[in-house]
Amino acid sequence: MANYATSNIRTVALVGQGGSGKTTLAEALLLASGAIKEAGTVERGTTVSDFEPLEKTWQHSLRASILHLDTQDTRVHLIDTPGFPDFIGQAIGALDAVETAAVVVSAQSGIEMIASQMMDWAAKRRLCRLVIVNKIDADNVDLPNLLASIQSLFGKECLPINLPAGGGKRVVDCFFNPDGESDFSSVGQAHRALVDQVVEVDEELMSLYLEQGEIAPEELHAPFEKALREGHLVPVCFVSAKTGAGVAELLEVLVKLAPNPAEGNPPLFYKGEGDAATEFRSEPDPKKHVLAHVFKVVMDPFVGKLGIFRVHQGTVTKDTQLIVGDGRKPFKVGHLFMLQGGKNVEIERAVPGDIAAVAKVDEIDFDCVLHDSHDEDHIHMRPLEFPTPMQGVAITPKKRGDEQRISEVLHRMIAEDPTLVVEHDSSTNETVLRALGDLHLRSVLERMASQFKLEIDTRPPRIPYRETITAQAEGFHRHKKQTGGAGQFGEVSLRVEPRERGAGFEFLDQTKGGVIPHQFMPAVQKGVEQVLGIGAIAGFPMQDVRVIVHDGKHHPVDSKEIAFVSAGRKAFLDAVEKARPIVLEPIVTVEVICPETNTGDIAGDLSSRRGQVTGTRGLQPGVLAISGLAPLAALEGYSARLKSVTGGHGSWSMQLSHYEQAPPQLQQQLVAEYKKSRKHEEE
Ligand SMILES: Nc1nc2c(ncn2[C@@H]2O[C@H](COP(=O)(O)OP(=O)(O)OP(=O)(O)O)[C@@H](O)[C@H]2O)c(=O)[nH]1
Ligand SMILES: [Mg+2]
């Protein structure tokens, strides 16, 4: 396999809304470069990108696919990412591996949420951006209007580099050879707008331009790259991935105008630990120390764990000894691969700009840095921000004995997916799997079943309610048992008092004169704590209670630990019953990110769930973050509801805020359920 120098490499991530046509476009680009002989389709499940069984069934990309193509002495590393919000973690991860983010917008559906977010995230990472308007062949598309909204939402720096012509059957170039008629707007005007924008980043060129009125395209290359790098220019290209219109022209733009790794903004790395860490930027020099960032990890059923990385500095060969992040012991690369969807090709070396993979290195985890400078450890990249996984299910194995394997497999899945978490909730004694959405969860469970043969039962996670008291009350119990020879005796008088919310539990011994001997007081406390753990009225842990033991009795022979545990427990139950016990429910703060147009619906839905909106802030043009408060119990099924309200464009996160008294009806229901379950147990 031929090697390409860094200056002849381009790295591009195709990002944007699900269904905008990224996978189809990747296929068209591979075909145009000759990397494949025939274009597959998403419908038939024959694309290079969507090679996994579930991707074929669902006709959506679920993971970032790593592709490459060679054309005009240039190698383009292309990453096709999923656009569905459930799998957006894969697209965010891919942004760290490229110089150029190509945001694909469907001419049929217009600019949607993910496209806006991607424009924003790519700008935050200082990537060069490109907007690709796809599906120009489709019926009933209004391209002039779409271009206007692109410019009004993303800025005037979004300028067409080509324009549709012949009724969307082809495109005309507006930059290199601006000659021809376009379906709308004017090629000459588009050309001038581009040149005007580009020369603005170079004063000398600007005065030359003002003098001569024209500048040769070669002269424009360096300022063009600068304008891209500074976000001063965002080229807009038109294509139809389906008919191939504009695809060769897009390839030309990628080769001639997209930055090579030396022309982009190098990413930030950190060395050292914690606050003492210092930042530095990598240099795309093949002779320097190796710095490579693992932006994706896959558990391949055939080759095992595959660490996929982007080389930012230095050269990786088969013989390179690399250190993983914080580690000290190097590993030898051995086999080095380049990927084409599900296929691996062995390569000799990878230079800055290359995307390559190593297999079977256990220490490699998502987001680690591989390097070869032995005097430095703890090298990291800046942390990535991923959405919080919110959609949870409690899981139990269908077959007993599978617990251990399930936990191992989940552990491996978490290592490859930063948007998946497993929590063990000790208060409800449940293992809860959390993902970004229902489809995400289903994809994990289906993979567990098909790839690992693990069957799992799921149900909604329990709500972690609590109990507390609202009044002061006295409790008393005498424990007395006389069976045969030895007896049991212990007597406890105590008072319970409510404490401030969040203050916790307090146990005070105010007995006098040794009525309860010192050594038995821990037994009394143990009895009280037994009730605290399981609750008194509805089966939930009790909190914010003070217990004051002020009197009691003992017997010189029959007093035993077991007697005081029992007396303590029952005296406490006696007091709680009179202290107006209540159930507390968790209240969470929620943040919903959605199109501005959905604000009313979101607020209405939140109030129907006993919640309220507490504020809104604009994130990007047309996109809002709405914050609010709501009881956790009322948010069941919220992900699905949000999806339907926003047409799949909303996402949300939540955090525990505080506990509040549950409304009477809910309290009665919980108490009744508890009584019923106790009765079952007793029977
Ligand atoms: N008319 C028309 N349809 C297209 C074009 N490109 C893609 N499509 C269709 O749009 C649908 C979605 O295409 P995909 O390539 O799967 O879209 P995607 O962006 O990869 O979607 P995700 O993987 O879910 O993010 C498919 O039915 C394609 O056949 C195009 O240029 N014109
Ligand atoms: Mg796709």
Task: Count Cβ atoms below 10 Å from residue 319 Cβ, excluding itself.
Answer: 10
Q: With beta carbons less than 8 A apart as the criterion, state whether 592 and 626 touch.
A: yes
Backbone Cα Rg of the chain: 32
Q: Rounded to the nearest whole angstrom, what is the distance from the C-alpha of residue 21 to the centroid of ligand 2?
A: 7
582: Cα separation from own chain's centroid: 37
- Classify residue 152 by its DSSP letter: H
Q: How far is the CA of 239 from the centre of ligand 1 (A)?
A: 12
Q: Cα–Cα distance between 568 and 520 in angstroms, integer?
A: 10
What is the spatial distance between Cα 189 and Cα 210, in angstroms, rounded to a whole number? Answer: 16
Spatial separation of the C-alpha atoms in residues 161 and 174, rounded to whole Å: 5
506: left (phi over 0), alpha (psi -120 to 50) or beta: beta
pLDDT for position 302 = 76
- Sequence-ordered list of residues with C-beta below 8 angstroms from that of 38, at least 6 positions apart, any chain: 31
End-to-end C-alpha distance for the chain, whole angstroms: 74
Verify whether ligand 1 is closer than 6 Å to residue 20 (CB atom): yes
Contact 310, 66 (CB under 8 A): no
Q: Which atom of ligand 1 is nearest to the CA of 80?
A: 20
- Is the CB–ligand 1 distance for residue 106 below 6 Å? no
Virtual CA dihedral for 564, 570, 573, 575, nearest 10 degrees?
-80
Q: Are 167 and 241 in contact (CB under 8 A)?
A: no
**Quick check: 151 and 119 in contact, CB under 8 A?**
no
Q: 506-527 burial by CB neighbour count: b if 16+ within 10 A, else e?
A: ebebebeeeebeeebbebbbeb
Instruction: Indicate if ligand 1 lies below 6 Å from the C-beta of 390.
Output: no
Candidate from 15, 17, 20, 104 with most ligand 1 atoms within 8 A of CB, to mutate: 20
Query: How far, in Å, is the centroid of ligand 1 from the Cα of 106?
Result: 8
> What pLDDT shows up at residue 683?
66
CB of 61 within 6 A of ligand 1: the answer is yes
Rounded Cα–Cα distance for residues 545 and 424 (Å): 26
Q: Can you tell me which atom of ligand 1 is nearest the CA of 18?
A: 25
pTM of the model: 0.81
Q: Which of 15, 24, 105 best tests ligand 1's pocket when mutated (most atoms within 8 Å of CB)? A: 24
Cβ–ligand 1 distance for 137 under 6 Å, the answer: yes
- CA proximity to 583, closest of 500, 664, 675: 664
User: Among the atoms of ligand 1, which is closest to the Cα of residue 42?
Assistant: 16
Rounded-to-integer distance, Cα 205 and Cα 207, Å: 5
Beta pairing partners, 490: 479
Q: How far is the CA of 401 from the centre of ligand 1 (A)?
A: 43
Packing angle of the helix pair 187-199, 217-229 (nearest 10 deg): 70
63 in contact with ligand 1, CB cutoff 6 A: no
Nearest to 353 by CA among 308, 381, 314: 314
Give yes or no for residue 468 CB within 6 A of ligand 1.
Answer: no
Q: What is the mean pLDDT of each run of 10 residues along the chain (683 residues)?
A: 87 95 97 94 94 90 96 96 90 95 94 86 93 94 92 93 94 90 92 92 89 84 92 96 96 93 91 84 93 91 86 94 84 92 92 94 88 80 77 88 88 88 77 87 91 89 90 95 81 96 91 91 94 90 94 88 94 96 91 89 93 86 86 87 85 81 94 87 66
Whether 18 is in the pocket of ligand 1, judged by its Cβ within 6 Å, is yes
Nearest ligand (C-alpha, residue 115): 1
How many angstroms does the Cα of residue 211 sit away from the middle of ligand 2? 48
For residues 517 and 511, what is the distance between their CA atoms, to the nearest angstrom?
9
34 CA to centre of ligand 1 in angstroms:
21
Phi-psi bin for 364: left (phi > 0), alpha (psi -120 to 50), beta?
beta
Compute the distance from residue 53 Cα to the ligand 2 centre, in Å.
14
Res 542: pLDDT: 93
From the list 150, 145, 142, 66, the residue with the least C-alpha distance to 104 is: 150
Q: Are 245 and 170 in contact (CB under 8 A)?
A: yes
Q: Tokens for 25, please give them.
A: 């476009």
Helix (H, G, I), strand (E, B) or coil at 436: coil
For residue 198, list its beta bridge partners.
Answer: none
